[in-house]
């Protein structure tokens, strides 16, 4: 009986010993790492400067949070360059050449910092599963701010019939609410002769025009292009001398104006612009109109070009 009891003790003792060893190994494997471990692989690694470099690196890493404490770092000399090798706890490896201690500290911090922990994905809801009241709606884009734009420049016009050339000044004042533009324009020009027929002595044609326009702006890479359309109210004065009497006359007209304006350096407050427009009188296209019987016919259309400077408020 005693002999049978003695035969049962060795297996029982072995089982208890194995359990104790397994518990010890499990406790060691689950114990938190206090590293990372730093190794030196360099000629004369026991020299003071190498030891000081490793000590400074260890002190720097101990001050950081969210660091891979189970990683292994190796500092090795490769020719005249110091190379930092990192083996993360998940098996990933990386190498970075460094030239001084500051670069070494930054590189080790970048390679060892752990990403933030993701929330429990099993509890997270997809946007489609959330009720409408809890869904994150995109923020509405802020409304575009209106701004004032002013411009002035020199202008030249070619018109008819009869054919004439005139020079003067032109300007505009707009309110821009992207991509739309609304504003007023004005111009003054004078012609002292006709191109298609003889001209009376001391003849001139002076024109003053004001108008309103609506336009659409198109933003290019470094410029803005605007297409404009609107009516113009035009006042024209003619004067000439036929050798005996001074002849004068004036008339008013409403014309339709189609134009385009191109400005460069569209982000600047002050910028150059160039514009072109075609102005036509519906009433005069069908029938010529005269301010006085002895004076040339008033023009029914004109084509203008202007170059100038504009200012845009912010």
For the chain, which residues make up each domain, given as ranges? 35-114, 147-312
Closest CA to 273 of 281, 282, 265, 263: 263
Strands 72-78 and 37-41: parallel
pLDDT at 238: 94
Phi, psi of 34 (to 5 degrees): -115, 15
pLDDT at 78: 79
pTM attached to this predicted model: 0.56
- The DSSP letter of residue 47 is S
Closest CA to 267 of 233, 231, 223: 223
Q: Is the dihedral of CA 281, 287, 288, 291 positive or negative?
A: negative
Closest CA to 229 of 256, 265, 269: 256
Closest CA to 208 of 241, 170, 152, 173: 170
Range in 9-23, 63-77, 275-289, 296-310 the model is least confident about: 9-23
pLDDT at 199: 84
Range in 15-24, 109-118, 304-313 the model is least confident about: 15-24
**Half-sphere exposure (Cβ direction) of 170: Cα atoms closer than 13 Å:** 23
Q: Which fold has domain 35-114?
A: Double Stranded RNA Binding Domain (3.30.160)
Q: Is the dihedral of CA 56, 60, 63, 66 positive or negative?
A: negative
pLDDT at 180: 95
**Range ranked top by mean pLDDT from 45-54, 121-130, 234-243, 296-305:** 296-305
pLDDT confidence bin for 184, thresholds 50/70/90: very high
CATH of domain 147-312: 2.40.160.20
Q: Is the pLDDT of residue 124 over 60?
A: no
pLDDT at 27: 45
Q: What is the pLDDT of residues 88-99, one digit of tens each?
A: 888 888 888 888
Say whether 147-312 and 35-114 share the same fold.
no
Mean pLDDT, rounded, of the chain: 83
What span, in angstroms and rounded, lies between the C-alpha atoms of 234 and 250? 11
Q: What is the pLDDT of residues 135-173, one digit of tens each?
A: 565 666 566 688 999 999 999 999 988 899 999 999 999
Neighbours of 189 (CB within 10 A): 21
Closest CA to 314 of 144, 148, 142, 141: 148
Closest CA to 306 of 161, 172, 159: 172
pLDDT at 52: 87
Q: Would residue 45 be called left, alpha or beta, if left means φ above 0 and alpha means ψ between -120 and 50 degrees?
A: alpha
Q: Is the pLDDT of residue 1 over 90?
A: no
Beta bridge partner(s), residue 78: 81
Mean pLDDT value of segment 200-212: 94
What span, in angstroms and rounded, lies between the C-alpha atoms of 214 and 177? 11
């Amino acid at each position: 009986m005693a002999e049978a009891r003695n035969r049962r003790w060795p297996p029982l003792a072995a089982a208890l010993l194995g359990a104790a060893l397994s518990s010890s190994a499990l406790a060691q494997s689950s114990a938190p790492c206090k590293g990372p471990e730093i190794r030196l692989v360099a000629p004369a690694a026991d020299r003071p400067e190498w030891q000081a470099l490793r000590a400074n690196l260890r002190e720097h890493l101990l001050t950081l949070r969210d660091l891979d404490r189970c990683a292994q770092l190796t500092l090795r000399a490769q020719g005249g360059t110091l190379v930092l090798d990192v083996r993360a706890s998940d098996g990933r490896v990386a190498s970075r050449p460094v030239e001084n201690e500051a670069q070494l500290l930054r590189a080790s911090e970048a390679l060892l910092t752990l990403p933030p922990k993701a929330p429990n994905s099993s509890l997270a809801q997809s946007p489609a599963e959330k009720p409408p009241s809890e869904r994150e709606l995109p923020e509405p884009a802020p409304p575009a701010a209106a701004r004032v734009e002013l411009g002035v420049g020199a202008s030249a016009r070619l018109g008819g019939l009869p054919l004439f050339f005139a020079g003067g000044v032109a300007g505009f004042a707009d309110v821009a609410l992207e991509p739309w533009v609304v504003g007023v324009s004005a111009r003054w020009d004078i012609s002292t002769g006709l191109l298609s027929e003889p001209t009376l002595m001391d003849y001139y044609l002076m024109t003053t025009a004001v108008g309103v326009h609506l336009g659409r702006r198109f933003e290019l890479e470094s410029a803005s292009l605007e297409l404009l359309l609107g009516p113009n109210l035009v006042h024209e004065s003619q004067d000439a001398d036929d050798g005996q009497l001074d002849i004068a006359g004036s008339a008013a007209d409403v014309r339709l104006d189609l134009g385009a304006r191109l400005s460069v350096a569209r982000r600047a407050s002050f910028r150059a612009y160039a514009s072109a427009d075609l102005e036509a009188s519906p009433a005069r296209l069908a029938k010529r109109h005269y301010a006085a019987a002895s004076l040339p016919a008033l023009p029914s259309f004109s084509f203008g070009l202007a170059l100038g400077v504009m200012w845009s408020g912010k």
